[in-house]
Chain A
Amino acid sequence: MHLDDEQVERVRHGELPRELEKSIREHLAGCSECRSRVAEGQRDEDWVYSMLRVLDHPPGRIDANAVVARAGGTGLGRWRWAAALLVAVSVGSAAFAMPGSPVRGWVREALEWIAPRGNSPSPIPTQSPRQPAVAGVGVVPGRALLILFTSPQSSGEARVSLTDGSEVVVRTQSGAATFTSDPGRLVIDNRSSTAMFEIQIPRVAPRVEIRVNGVRVYLKDGDRARAGNVTVAGDVYVLRLSLPRS
């Protein structure tokens, strides 16, 4: 008995059932006709696959983290994030409303940073205290933290500074981005954004890396910091969020 089509294919693809493998290998060793059919099947397959390759286009740069960012984390993660956001907003509002609170000053400073007066004669519109136009997140950096901007921007910068605090803090104007955090990772979904971001990193953080669309633009490793596509203004690294075209 010679091998049938099914067995010839399975021999070539390593898909023989374990119980038949020995007997089929033994048959092949003694049967030139079946060996020839196996070889012919391989040549045929090689030709077909070489034809299929003419249809191919390279997939481009798509990385797992960008897909995860679009997925928005697991359901549990999303609920936890929503709860954390609710708590943060409540605490922030209470602190803002408290008489003599320094939070108002911080918010004012942040607003001025986001929309600086410069030489413009027009005054900055007064922001309602009930609608602070700042969004942000604070995360404990742990042993290593990756901050991932999901997209390059047509304009906009991230200003990175070192602080004596214990949390990595990222701020931008409200609505400019959404934040998702997992252990060791902070994903900033900044699609279609042209916003400025302020990133504060604790000096004691062992390792913090910032990537834009998968490309590393900043790395703090121990006491050393490295950055590309950057200008340094005093103690502040100014990272361009618009990646250079190759």
Chain B
Amino acid sequence: MNDPDSRQDSDQAASRFHGLFVGLFNAHFERLYRYLDRLSGDSDLAADLAQEAFIKLYRRGSLPDSPEAWLISVAMNLFRNASSSRSRRTRLLTLARAEGVHSEPGPSPEAAAIDAESRRRVRSAIDRMPPREKRLLLLAAEGYSYRAMALALELNEASVGTLLARARRAFRATYAGEEQRDAP
């Protein structure tokens, strides 16, 4: 039987969760998207995965202890799955994204060429980094806490700073390698 009091409590809990979820989404969606975009080099995939991670969180019906770390872990799992079955993936909300892109004026051809070259070098440098350092660097760039990064990447939190310094050195080294390769 439906107890009106318990139903009211349940409605209040659902409403409270909804409010928390929206707050979390507004605070973290863009940074999760940007992390995945930089990691994968595929902005459509990044938007899909970030959404799917939040959909899973909503369907969970309650917040985990560390929502940021949970979202990163889920998104990483989705990324691994998507990487192995990219052709079967369906796009979500691509219409809205396409409209956003078309509404912005494009750069001049010269600026576009320089941008493309910079992107290629940075992309290549990122791709050549060791996986753990790469993920840590990209998460740190989004301002995630040491605790969230340690939980998501299964690292010892006490050594996150040391690993971060190492990750930046790794990026510098791979980027310098790209510049040398392009030098005449």
Q: Are B58 and A55 in contact (CB under 8 A)?
A: no
* Distance to closest chain B CB from A182 (angstroms): 6
Cβ-based interface call for A116 (8 A): no
CA distance A117 to B158 in the complex (A): 74
Q: Are A64 and B22 in contact (CB under 8 A)?
A: yes
Choose one: A6, A52, A71; the contact of B159 (CB below 8 Å).
Answer: A6
Q: Are A57 and B43 in contact (CB under 8 A)?
A: yes
Name the interface size band of chain B: 35 or more
Q: Are A213 and B38 in contact (CB under 8 A)?
A: no
CA distance A173 to B16 in the complex (A): 33
Instruction: Name the residue on A nearest B58 (C-beta).
Output: A71
Q: Are A183 and B141 in contact (CB under 8 A)?
A: no
Choose one: B38, B92, B96, B164; the contact of A56 (CB below 8 Å).
Answer: B38
Q: Given A48-B168, A51-B122, A67-B25: A59 and B97 within 8 A (CB)? A: yes
Set of chain A residues within 8 Å of B126, measured between Cβ atoms: 52, 55
Cβ-based interface call for B83 (8 A): no
Q: Given A6-B159, A9-B165, A55-B123: A62 and B99 within 8 A (CB)? A: no
Set of chain A residues within 8 Å of B61, measured between Cβ atoms: 74-76
Set of chain A residues within 8 Å of B95, measured between Cβ atoms: 151-152
What's the dominant secondary structure at chain B's contact region?
A: helix
Cβ-based interface call for B87 (8 A): no
Q: Are B59 and A71 in contact (CB under 8 A)?
A: yes
* Distance to closest chain A CB from B170 (angstroms): 10
Cβ-based interface call for A77 (8 A): yes
Q: Are B138 and A183 in contact (CB under 8 A)?
A: no
CA distance A10 to B145 in the complex (A): 11
Q: Which 4 A-B pairs have the closest CB atoms?
A: A9-B161, A60-B97, A57-B43, A71-B58
Interface CB pairs A-B, < 8 A, 23: A9-B160, A13-B161, A41-B165, A48-B172, A51-B122, A51-B125, A55-B122, A56-B34, A56-B37, A59-B33, A59-B50, A59-B97, A60-B93, A60-B97, A60-B100, A61-B99, A64-B29, A67-B55, A68-B22, A70-B55, A75-B59, A182-B18, A184-B15
B residues near A (Cβ < 8 Å) are 10-11, 14-15, 17-18, 21-22, 25-26, 29-30, 33-34, 37-38, 41, 43, 47, 50-51, 54-55, 58-59, 61, 92-93, 95-101, 103-104, 115, 118-119, 122-123, 125-126, 137-138, 140-141, 145-146, 158-162, 164-166, 168, 171-172, 175
A residues near B (Cβ < 8 Å) are 4-10, 13, 15, 41, 44-45, 48-49, 51-52, 54-62, 64-68, 70-72, 74-77, 151-152, 182-184, 213, 245-246
